[in-house]
Amino acid sequence: MDEQDREAIAEAVREAEGQTAGEIVVMIDRAAASYRMVPVAMALTLSLLVPWPLLAMTETSAPRIFLIQLVCAVLLLASLLWYGRGGRFVPGFVKRRRAHDVALREFTARGLSRTRQRTGVLLYVAIQERYAEIIADSGIDGRVEQAVWDGIVESVVLAGREDRLREGIVTAVRAIGAVLANHAPRSPDDVDELPNNVVIL
């Protein structure tokens, strides 16, 4: 996201919040987790298998076997860390769970649960995980069917796959604003409680 992308999204948030008492926060996370421990564990586990064929089929000394095992561990670690970057070895459901946990944590940390009418909505997008989620506070969540949020999320994920993330997020913000305007219309004394800027993690 460059400065123009962030400003376009922030402007969409300002426009959407102009019709509602709700607060919208857009958060873009490059990666919900590093997932480095998975390739590390794989490399170390595989290196434990190295001595067994050497012990069974050769008369190599113990110090030499240890050295071979150490070299294999380093090579495996380097190659698996490179190939497994971005969580390639991590199952999709684990990555989605990590991203969901980050979204819940950030929802609270960003003050979305402390708005005056409890109508805060977080649009969380995790790039590496190809994951998006909408979390709404109690003042709005019970009034909106989950299928509505799911439809907005699907459009963001699809736009990300097609390299149209900015457009997808702007469209999603407008859709969230329309939902909020329907269920929590703007009141005359409404104030903007949270920043409109895109949060980049």
pLDDT band at 186 (very low <50, low <70, confident <90, very high): confident
User: At how many degrees (to 10) do helices 62-83 and 37-48 cross?
Assistant: 150
Q: Looking at the predicted structure, is the pLDDT value of residue 86 above 70?
A: no
Distance from the first to the final alpha carbon of the chain: 11
Above 80 in pLDDT, residue 189?
no
Task: Give the pLDDT confidence of 121-135 residue by residue, as tens digits.
Answer: 999 999 888 899 999
DSSP 12-26: HHHHHHTTBS-EEEE
Res. 192: pLDDT tops 80: no
The ranges assigned to domains in the chain are: 3-33+91-200, 37-83
Chain centroid offset of residue 27 CA: 9
What pLDDT sits at residue 157?
A: 92
For tokens 């990590």, the residue is 98
Digit-coded pLDDT (tens) for 44-70: 888 888 888 888 888 888 888 888 888
pLDDT > 70 in the chain, percent = 98
Note the pLDDT of residue 114.
Answer: 82
**What tens digit of pLDDT does each residue of 15-27 get?**
988 888 888 899 9
Strands 120-126 and 131-136: antiparallel
Among 101, 84, 71, which Cα is nearest to 35's? 84
Tokens of 170: 């702007």
Burial 2-16 (b: 16+ CB within 10 A, else e): eeebbebbbebbeeb
Fold of the 3-33+91-200 domain? Diaminopimelate Epimerase; Chain A, domain 1 (3.10.310)
- pLDDT tens, position by position, 140-183: 888 888 899 999 999 999 998 899 999 999 999 999 999 988 88
What is the DSSP annotation of 98-115?
A: HHHHHHHHHHHHTTGGGS
